[in-house]
Structure 1
Amino acid sequence: MSANANTTTLWRPTGPVELDLVRALDRRAWPPRLPDQPIFYPVLNEDYAIRIARDWNVKHSGAGFVTRFEVDTAFLARYPVRQVGGETILELWVPAQELDEFNAHIVGRIEVVHEFR
């Protein structure tokens, strides 16, 4: 569900390093991808983001966070929804070289909605 008819709510499970970078960007953008990260993938539902943050990020970095943010819906139409598992395992795949443009279409701030340790 979105707070605005013109935006889509997305979630992103993240670890502490990426979250620190988001905070350094005033919670308005995602940091550039690392060389071994060709895709930025926000997810389309909170439950899936929770599972990744809790079950993967905590195991690999000691903490996991679920972030929520809004993106201009018309802009997102260029990215097909990818079903990468079960019926609710849905992601958008944003090529790393398009992340600056993606960030320019974020509406408001990226907020942390869950934290796991």
Structure 2
Amino acid sequence: MAEPTITLWRPVGLAELALIRESGMRAFPPRLPEQPIFYPVTTEDYAIKIARDWNVRASGSGYVTRFEVLKSYLDGYRIETAGGRAHQEYWIPAEDLDNFNAAIVGEIAVTREYHLEGEE
């Protein structure tokens, strides 16, 4: 029987999506020095809000990714609430990202994308 997984989402910009694609859609890239925490979120609605409202404004486009992570791995982390009950996420330290990526089951999928008006 397959080990249980949890579905998570992550809003990303075009640069991060390019690095995910370079991995074969199997891993998130290392964090930059100013990014000590990796924040996957627990609902698609929350990821949509960030991709649409933050990523588009910051870089012109935003993408929502969906992926499965081994529940046994995530059991080592708490779900954190960022500003409201609808904003729940895991806080994965940057130094744990390789282990997080190893716990991803299958491919990372892009489920939605958003662009500035008039851009494709």
Q: TM-score, normalised by structure 2?
A: 0.93
1:85: how far off?
1.3
Counterpart Cα distance in 2 of 1:86 and 1:95: 22
Deviations 1:63-95 (A, max 9, x none): 000000000001101110001111110010000
Alignment RMSD: 1.0
Deviations 1:19-39 (A, max 9, x none): 000000000000000000000
1:37 aligns with 2:48: no
Aligned residue in 1 for 2:81: 83
Aligned residue in 1 for 2:4: 6
Picking from 24, 27, 31, the partner of 2:25 is 27
* Contiguous gaps of at least 5 residues in structure 2: 116-120
Q: TM-score, normalised by structure 1?
A: 0.95
Q: Which amino acid aligns with 1:30?
A: F
- Residues 94 and 113 from structure 1, CA distance in 2 versus in 1: closer, same or farther, beyond 3 angstroms? same
Percent of residue pairs bearing the same amino acid type: 57
**Helix, strand or coil at the partner of 1:85:** coil
Deviations 1:46-75 (A, max 9, x none): 000000000000000000000000000011
- Asked if the contact 2:3/2:70 (under 8 Å) is kept, the reply is no
For the pair shown, which has the larger CA radius of gyration, 1 or 2?
Answer: 2
* Contiguous gaps of at least 5 residues in structure 1: none
Aligned residue in 1 for 2:118: none
Counterpart Cα distance in 1 of 2:93 and 2:51: 22
Q: Which runs of 4+ in 1 moved over 2 A?
A: none
Q: Which amino acid aligns with 1:8?
A: I
